Copies of this chain bind each other. A is one copy, B any other.
């Protein structure tokens, strides 16, 4: 028998297991047994904690998104230079490679968000928060005279997040030419143009 755990500990495990299962089988392809296997439990045990699988899936997606976002925030928190912040933020929004679990998870939502309101809201809220993240970097840089923005910071930020998203898809789909490095360079080329800064650091 699998090790017994407290209600909260087990729920945390299950959310992690669901995350892995979604990546393997897709948000519409996950089955109770997939989650159970990933967690090292039986289907019954999963059902004991989550009588409704779809609720667990939402929680898994939510947790994955929060982790992704918090991680990005934490990385730039250590920096003060707007240039360094911007460059690092761009890189941290891209997958490390085709198998990057965080981005793979987010990508699963793309299609589902058009059919499922909950997923649509989740994804939209993540997008908006990432936009704010960029916006505050750009505003600061502008105020310090480091950036000379060609348009409003909001529009630029929206485009930056959009570019990250799109290249995340390209990379996980294994584009033969566009990998993490190439994508970063493409986004940076945009960022250089609109900030009027070489973004060397």
**Chain A interface residues toward B at CB < 8 A:** 24-29, 98, 104, 107-115, 117, 119-120, 123-124, 127, 150-151, 155, 158-159, 161-163, 165-167, 169-170, 172-176, 178, 186-187, 189-190, 193-194
Contacts and interface: CB of A to CB of B under 8 A. Distances in A.
A190 B159 contact: yes
A114 B173 contact: yes
Contacts of A155: 186, 189
B26 A150 contact: no
A19 B108 CA distance: 19
Contacts of A151: 189, 193
Given A112-B26, A178-B158, A173 B107 contact: no
Contact of A162 (B108, B111, B170): B170
8 contacts: A29-B29, A111-B112, A120-B174, A123-B173, A127-B170, A165-B165, A166-B166, A190-B190
A173 to B, nearest CB: 4
Contacts of A190: 159, 190, 194
A195 to B, nearest CB: 11
A113 B165 contact: no
B166 A111 contact: no
A193 B28 contact: no
A115 B26 contact: yes
- The 8 nearest A-B residue pairs measured at CB: A162-B166, A110-B110, A113-B173, A28-B28, A28-B29, A114-B172, A108-B111, A166-B166
Given A120-B174, A165-B169, 10 more contacts: A26-B111, A104-B111, A107-B111, A109-B111, A113-B173, A114-B173, A155-B186, A159-B186, A162-B166, A165-B165
A112 B26 CA distance: 7
A163 B156 CA distance: 12
A190 to B, nearest CB: 6
